[in-house]
Amino acid sequence: MKFITLLIVNCSLLIVPCFSQSAHFLETLLEREAVSYQDAALLVLDAAELINGSIDQIDPADVFRFAMENNMLPRKAESNNAATYEGLSLLVMRAFGFRGGLFYSIFQNPHYAYREMVYKNIIQGYSDPKMIVTGEELLFIVNRAMFLSSNN
């Protein structure tokens, strides 16, 4: 477990230069056992370069509202609810513009987004679509998504 934590922290340090994140925001994310949809939207949309400005200057509620209006989050997502793997998967797939397989292309729902993220090896290890995402896991997933989007 210590190795995994060290790996994730090192990977998150690689993320810092790639997009404009404040160190404080990343530190608080790393400490969280459950990340909210609002924080997930803020990190993912900034990583995908869909928002302008620094995280310190942007209202997280506006970013969440933007994600909801553009159907990047599950319909029932609320800003302060804990993000699940399937909800985060939908956000990442749509924010980064990843194409999916047949079922994701037809239905474009959180369940098939999750399956695509596992297939693309963005989500690794043991997980369940309904599991709550921790801060470390969010940073790892965003790092993998950025890597894959830069190679395509």
Q: Is the pLDDT of residue 118 over 80?
A: yes
Global pTM?
A: 0.86
Residue-wise pLDDT tens digits, 10-31: 555 454 444 445 788 889 999 9
SS3 state at 42: helix
- Closest by CA to 34, choosing from 65, 80, 66, is 80
Of 4-18, 38-52, 130-144, minimum mean pLDDT range = 4-18
Q: Which long-range contacts (CB under 8 A, 24 or more apart) does 29-35 make?
A: 29/135, 29/138, 29/139, 30/135, 30/136, 30/139, 31/135, 32/134, 32/135, 33/132, 33/134, 33/135, 34/82, 34/83, 34/132, 34/133, 34/134, 35/82, 35/83, 35/132, 35/133, 35/134, 35/135, 35/138
Residue scoring higher pLDDT (54 or 104): 104
Coil vs helix vs strand at 151: helix
At 109, is the secondary structure helix, strand, or coil? Answer: coil
Of the candidate ranges 16-20, 44-48, 75-79, 135-139, the one whose mean pLDDT is the lowest: 16-20
Give me 140's structure tokens: 């790892």
pLDDT digits (tens, 9 = 90+) for 53-97: 888 789 999 999 999 999 999 999 999 999 999 999 999 999 999
